[in-house]
Amino acid sequence: MTRTLAERLTDIREAARDLIGIVGAMDDAAFHALPNADRITYRALKNALSELGETVKTLPREVTDRHPDVDWRGFAGLRDVVAHGYFGLRQDLLLPIVRDEVPRLLASIEAELNRSG
């Protein structure tokens, strides 16, 4: 079954909210201790990044073009890195993405959901 644009935007919003929720309560040391310190949280983080990136790939160009401040290609590519990197993810690169880029993405997704009613 094909998902509607509103459903896909909602999927991205939920993954972004999960990412912000997971990382928001962590200090830098706790984040960098993943996955050794908390494998479940690490897997949840990877799953949310993968879902977000996979769904970003399905957005029509007119949506992404309205938000040039979001690195849509970067999020799509990050999904591939997460899905195929297995144990080689670099937390030092992920932390600024989740803390800085995901909130910008979330704001754009919220704008699109509000736009579509």
Show Cβ contacts of residue 105 under 8 Å, excluding neighbours closer than 6 positions: 12, 16, 52, 70, 75
Query: Which residue among 84, 90, 99, 104 is the active-site one?
Result: 84
32 is catalytic: no
Contact 11, 109 (CB under 8 A): no
Query: Which residue among 39, 61, 67, 79 is the active-site one?
Result: 79
67 is catalytic: no
* DSSP per position, 90-109: -HHHHHHIIIIIHHHHHHHH
Hey, which residues are catalytic here? Answer: 79, 84
